[in-house]
Structure 1
Amino acid sequence: MARIKLRGMTWGHRRAIDPLLATKALFEQQHPEIEIEWASRPLSGFEFTPVPDLAKEYDLIVLDHPFCGEIVATGCLLPVDDIIAAAGGDRYVGPSLASYTYAGACWSVPIDAAAQVAVSRPDLLQALDAMPPIDWRELIALGEKASRKGLQLATGLKGVHSLMTFFTLCANLGQPCSTDPERPLVDRDTARQVLDHIRALLAYCPKEALDWNSIALHDVMVARDDLVTCPAVYCYATYAESDQRKPLRFHDLPGPNGPGGSTIGGTGLGLSAYRGSDEATQAYARFAASPEVQRLFAAHHGQPARLEAWTDPAIDTRFGRCYAETRKTMDGCWIRPRFPGYLRFQAEGGDLIEQHLRGQMDEATLLDRLQRAFEASGKR
């Protein structure tokens, strides 16, 4: 009998691809009739490539939850509610499962959990005789102390990452951005306060911060010896592993109001409805959803979504206690909009905020253009 060949797509980082490749042989051993081939794309492709396009070429798609509106509108993926139920229901950290539940069904199996949290270089904090900041006031005070020693704070605000930080701080201040394009995007006073906070942070960061996405931010904090802490970046726990030049440490979001309101990220596993391999893809989804395989993901640089892995002491130790130290943030996350057309706003909104932070657009113009772009995204 000919083997069923499944094609899968993820994004190009060891956190994403290594666990899938490492567990491939185990799945194929358990299912000798199925073979999987994994491919990867850059982070920018993960953030914006339409899932309906991917579903025409790939059976298994690792994706972000804001695509749910397009998924429902096009019918490009299979619902996975039965798979989630068989795996024990909502045994996931924070609103990981809720983020993929839209229009009455769940559209992806959570396999990776992340949110914007703080990350630091423990050696540089020690050199400053400082602790990780617990709120924005302490963050700015640390920036002042670091600058006197020739050190800096860090952030990654390239394009969409500017918007994610904006989202996080709005939610942290108790005024989250709208998820409905027929309502105003954001309270203007809150938006101005958030932009003040971001500009205050940037005053203590290198100018290159506006060129960094989340991966680049982690890379430079490991490579350079002048970046003390970043308050809000999508966590890549693998940078806390012992094989890093200078292992990083992760902490709860030091928002103006503490750890609440961070913008959830992570990934889910979607199953193409276009490719005709339903039984095989569902078998793989059940495999990836199991607590045992989620633990194996962590053994190969992955960042699991299941609570059994997040609360496993050995896994937490491997990642420098990342999971214990960021759990409050994960549990208090905010979910981005998911309506069809939102991804257009995510791209445009991030570019607009970046332009403002570069001094290319005044604040009033930024807020007007953000609102117009948000309204327009719901009409496309």
Structure 2
Amino acid sequence: MTYTGLTWDHPRGHDALAASAGDLIHWDVQPLEGFESHPVDELCARYDLIVLDHPHLGEAVRAGCLTPLDDLFTPAELVRWRTDSIGPTMCSYELAGRQWALPLDAATQVAATRTDLTGGETPATWDEVHRLARRVPVALSLAGPHAFLTFASLAVAAGEEPGTDPDRLISDATGLAVLDRMADLDALAPPRTRSLNPIGLLELMTGTDRLAHCPLVYGYVTYAGLLTFTDAPALAPGGRPGSTLGGTGLAISTRRTPSAALLDHVRWLMSPAAQREFLPRHHGQPSARAAWTDPETVAADFYRRTRTTCERAWVRPRHAGYIPFQSAASAVVREALAGDTGHRPALDRMRALYRASRTPKEQRA
């Protein structure tokens, strides 16, 4: 029996899965934009395994298209994987008391730098980022959902996690200060960087001299030999590096009953041997903390320099309406940065979108 799986179209998302699948799983790919926004229930109707982002859980659980993994694996296995995974990666795939996916890959927004263009400087605070932007090209990640994710990470650095109060999303003081800071930086950014997704920004940095630093971009170990990755900026020295958790989870759809062979393969993907050795050798970015701390891991400096950010990353809301909100809020942020709307109206609009994204049941939860 051959199962079908869907992952995202990048060596980090595909190579290790394909190399280990044999005849058990045929892996298809979708673009990064599809991974970020395509409805999960439509994908589960066509695929047995889905690589997904944790904010999709709400819509998937509502649609009933994923198999709870606590029905397939033992409590001891789930506890071990939770203990062994870096930061909140395993917990991000829990919802309504069930485990819906396993953290195959760990990633969060970190800083990427061409140190040859910055004179060796790697900013650790947002004030240092501003000073650097006045002398070399610096850009924020603003395409697709990333405008809101950048907004959220700056808020986390300022000490406030968005959505803690579901009725207002973020306080006036934090929300307006974040938009002001983003606008100041965006005004200095090189032309046409606003439309580039994280991969596009990293390609621009490695293929040209047009971009020297991106303070918040999802880390890709595949660029570690060309760029210097460091922890996301804090608001003040020693503060929390504001960052929004990304990465991917491996979920099993309700389309077909998994065989013992398939479950054993999933167990192997989560094993120390796969996480510390096989995945890194095949361009993967493992979720096991041991891989992030092992000096022998491929590209060990990438993990060492960004581990603190991953350990302390913010987990996004996972209610069913979150993905459309994230897209709509990002459009509002871009309008504010372009000067098409004021920062106060933009903040009010994001709050209204967030309230509308939550059903009465989810608001009570």
Work out whether the TM-score is over 0.5. Answer: yes
Aligned partners of 1:83 and 1:286 also within 8 Å: no
SS of residue matched to 1:61: strand
Aligned partners of 1:264 and 1:330 also within 8 Å: yes
SS of residue matched to 1:231: strand
- The correspondence of residues 122-271 of structure 1 with structure 2, limited to 5 A, is 122-125=115-118, 128=119, 130-144=120-134, 146=135, 151-178=136-163, 181=166, 183-241=167-225, 247-257=226-236, 258-271=239-252
Tell me the amino acid that sits aligned with residue 16 of structure 1. Answer: G
Tell me the amino acid that sits aligned with residue 234 of structure 2. Answer: G
**Which of 76, 86, 95 lines up with 1:93 in the alignment?**
86
Distance 2:352 2:185 in 1: 27
Give a deviation string over 1:213-234, Cα, whole Å, max 9, x none: 1111111010111322111111
Aligned partners of 1:60 and 1:281 also within 8 Å: no
Distance 1:262 1:38 in 2: 30
- The correspondence of residues 45-56 of structure 1 with structure 2, limited to 5 A, is 45-56=34-45
| Number of positions where the alignment pairs a residue of Structure 1 with one of Structure 2 | 353
The answer for the alignment partner of 2:352 in structure 1 is 372
The answer for the alignment partner of 1:338 in structure 2 is 318
Distance 1:215 1:328 in 2: 22
Give a deviation string over 1:17-76, Cα, whole Å, max 9, x none: 111112223xx5xxxxxx210000011100111212111111110000011212222221
Aligned partners of 1:159 and 1:353 also within 8 Å: no
The answer for the alignment partner of 1:37 in structure 2 is 26
Distance 2:208 2:240 in 1: 27
Give a deviation string over 1:157-199, Cα, whole Å, max 9, x none: 1131100000101111111111564x21111110011111112
CA deviation after TM superposition for structure 1 residue 369, in Å: 1.3
SS of residue matched to 2:146: helix
- Unpaired stretches in structure 1, ≥5 consecutive residues: 29-34, 242-246
Give a deviation string over 1:298-322, Cα, whole Å, max 9, x none: 101111111121122122xx32611
SS of residue matched to 2:2: strand
Moved more, 251-260 or 82-91: 82-91
Distance 2:350 2:210 in 1: 34
SS of residue matched to 2:112: strand
SS of residue matched to 2:45: helix
Determine whether 1:299 maps to 2:288.
no
The answer for the alignment partner of 1:121 in structure 2 is 114
The answer for the alignment partner of 1:311 in structure 2 is 293
Tell me the amino acid that sits aligned with residue 133 of structure 1. Answer: P
SS of residue matched to 2:330: helix
Aligned partners of 2:140 and 2:150 also within 8 Å: no
CA deviation after TM superposition for structure 1 residue 136, in Å: 0.7
CA deviation after TM superposition for structure 1 residue 207, in Å: 2.6
CA deviation after TM superposition for structure 1 residue 361, in Å: 1.8
Determine whether 1:18 maps to 2:29.
no
Structure 1 pair 83/39, CA: closer, same or farther in 2 (3 Å)?
A: farther
The answer for the alignment partner of 1:9 in structure 2 is 6
TM-score normalised to structure 2 length: 0.92
Structure 1 pair 355/84, CA: closer, same or farther in 2 (3 Å)?
A: farther
Tell me the amino acid that sits aligned with residue 312 of structure 2. Answer: G
Give the 4+ runs in structure 1 shifted more than 6 A: none
SS of residue matched to 1:89: helix
CA deviation after TM superposition for structure 1 residue 280, in Å: 4.6
TM-score normalised to structure 1 length: 0.88
The two structures, once aligned, show a CA RMSD in angstroms of: 1.8
Tell me the amino acid that sits aligned with residue 248 of structure 1. Answer: L
Distance 1:53 1:297 in 2: 28
**Which of 298, 301, 305 lines up with 1:321 in the alignment?**
301
Structure 1 pair 354/195, CA: closer, same or farther in 2 (3 Å)?
A: same
The answer for the alignment partner of 1:80 in structure 2 is 69
CA deviation after TM superposition for structure 1 residue 274, in Å: 2.5
Distance 1:173 1:19 in 2: 37
Tell me the amino acid that sits aligned with residue 47 of structure 1. Answer: E
Distance 1:89 1:6 in 2: 24
Aligned partners of 2:176 and 2:344 also within 8 Å: no
The answer for the alignment partner of 2:265 in structure 1 is 284
CA deviation after TM superposition for structure 1 residue 278, in Å: 5.2
Aligned partners of 1:252 and 1:259 also within 8 Å: no
CA deviation after TM superposition for structure 1 residue 86, in Å: 2.2
The answer for the alignment partner of 1:32 in structure 2 is none
SS of residue matched to 1:339: coil
CA deviation after TM superposition for structure 1 residue 114, in Å: 0.6
